[in-house]
Amino acid sequence: MATLDSKIPKGPLKDKWTTYKDKINLVNPANKRNIDIIVVGTGLAGGSASATLAELGYNVKAFAYQDSPRRAHSIAAQGGINAAKNYQGDGDSFYRLFYDTVKGGDYRSREANVYRLAEVSANIIDQCVAQGVPFARDYGGLLDNRSFGGVLVSRTFYAKGQTGQQLLLGAYSAMNRQIARGKIEMFNRHEMLDVVKIDGKARGIIARNLITGEIERHSAHAVVIASGGYGNVYFLSTNAMGSNATAAWKIHKKGAFFANPCYTQIHPTCIPRSGDYQSKLTLMSESLRNDGRIWVPKKMEDVMAIREGRKKPTDLSEEERDYYLERRYPAFGNLVPRDVASRAAKERCDAGYGVNATGEAVYLDFKSAIERYGREQAKLHHISNPTEKEVYDLGKGIVEAKYGNLFQMYEKIVDENPYETPMMIYPATHYTMGGVWVDYNLMTTVDGLYCIGEANFSDHGANRLGASALMQGLADGYFVLPYTIGDYLANDIRTGKIPTDTKEFDEVEKEVKDRLDFFINNKGEHSVDYYHKKLGKIMWDKVGMARNAKGLTEAMAEIKALREDFWKNVKVTGALNEMNPELEKAGRVADFLELGELFAKDALMREESCGGHFREESVESDGLQEGEAKRNDKDYAFVAAWEYKGEPADAVLHKEELEFNDIELKQRSYK
């Protein structure tokens, strides 16, 4: 078994990143002009990396499968971005953000990486303000922030509308300046289909022009993958339908280890599924949990009455409601981390207390918040003995200012007014903490091949705290990769342009074309979506919020059989050399059909519960933590990095043991 070298610097935790930067190799400005870098993906991680590397003087080729970088999936993030600024003076610090992140991830992340993330988080806010990102401000003009699940401080900065979109516009504007200077060559509507290695180093990619169907060769001295996560392996998720794992999976098959695929986050505040024909679930910001209280009816007769339309949720008194998160987790209440909140909702719905027609929904209620804010505003406006209507109107105004866009979206989708009737929410597949294994430098197990943002196996561990995805994407792109990649590229200043007319490019291009030819010429019976939906159902039923050995073993066999049928019977309409969305999907679903099996294999191997990975066989049986996830630190305190060996079932496990020197490993508690 190969030993994974994480390349974590020696010395005290708080000094590691500073000491590292002091000692790395640098590339002088004149030499940067002679070095090319490919960046695949232009979301927050890829967009910030492309802009920063170009600003430094490197020649950047950036690839986006959408028609513009500003359409990257990062825009869907609504809630905010974390940073240890301590603006509220409520006790936040780099250490507190570091500790909350490690604890939130159930102690399955690297101390050094997380501390670095906490350190640079404060810089992100300054960077984005300088770019003109319109963060919310309080009455004094200072940046406002709020609290998210799993923490006891306010550190989440947010912008009106969707914070992700506003942050992406900041990165996009920086990119545009470099595009105008000619330092970024932008390839919109292009998809990377494979990586090219020369003498063991990543030296280029094969890409398809999604408009013309043309296959292109692109070379560089280093390749950066920033293509997001693999949540769409479930088919129905909060991700846009185009979000896929192809770039990450292709580099895995070329030697990059894939780590912790079983660590998937289920988001607790999504609008419930409405039927069998949906292709996407709508995400509602976790920020709603700051003021919304989550409940189900206490009595089964009330549940049935609500389902049958004989009662409305507003008919139930406080005594008839089970605020189950406040009951189970008094210290954190509605602000427990996402994995805990999601499982608690599933438990109530599995017990029969779900409040919609399918039994898969709980209430998120703002009545208490509207009343609280209303009475506070009445005092501020010197209104003594306000009427109920005055209290409601004043409180509604505050809630509308904070969450109005989300309430509007909910009403358009569900056709209910959430100011007057509680929202219905249910957990859904969201972020993936697994991904391509990288060392402290963000380099994969292939020299010169980097992976950043959600595409790598993430600093978060087995679960991600809300508002930390944007933080990692921008930290990697703005403040980490530009240093670490320079250290590697210092050895390439005399290499010269990498030619594309070599046998290595020939071979990979042939592999890509053969696969595309197969899809077009295979006269099967079923559409690509047919297979994707079947895969998604297997994943959700047997590799979803709760897993067991029997279900995981069945899932592996079922996914393998489905994959074999796919290669025999898939039908792809349209032609090769034209815009063909079905052909694009075919390649992506083929990759998901392999990744899904490795996902189940990883979950079967990890005989413990931690974070987003919940094994039914591993649960606290008694005491204060009864029913909660039971970790096994003795046997499983490691990163599981899988080496590709052909069939997913044959993947070889490499362990990176996790060392905890600054944090004591202990049972996570939010009670």
User: Which residues are part of the catalytic machinery?
Assistant: 338
Phi first, then psi: give them for residue 367, nearest 5 degrees. Answer: -60, -45
Instruction: Tell me how crowded residue 540 is: count the other CB atoms within 10 A of its CB.
Output: 17
Helix (H) or strand (E) holding 469: helix 469-474
DSSP letter assigned to residue 351? I
Q: Which residue has the tokens 């362990």?
A: 655
State the distance between the two ends of the chain, measured CA to CA, in whole angstroms: 41
15/220 Cα distance (integer angstroms): 33
Pairing relation of β-strands 222-225 and 36-40?
parallel
Beta bridge partners of 449: 223
Q: Are 331 and 670 in contact (CB under 8 A)?
A: yes
Please return the burial class of 563, using the count of CB atoms within 10 Å of its CB with bins 0-12, 13-18 and 19+.
buried
Burial letters for 42-80: b for 16+ Cβ neighbours within 10 Å, e otherwise?
bbbbbbbbbbbbbbbbbbbbbbbbbeebbbbbbbbbbbb
Instruction: Tell which residue, 23, 53, 55, 102, has the closest CA to residue 476.
Output: 53
**Read out DSSP for 477-513?**
IIIIHHHHHHHHHGGGTTT-PPPS-SHHHHHHHHHHH
Q: Are 15 and 23 in contact (CB under 8 A)?
A: no
Instruction: Tell which residue, 273, 465, 291, 265, has the closest CA to residue 364.
Output: 291
* Lookup: tokens for 444: 């994969």
Q: Which residue has the tokens 């499968």?
A: 65
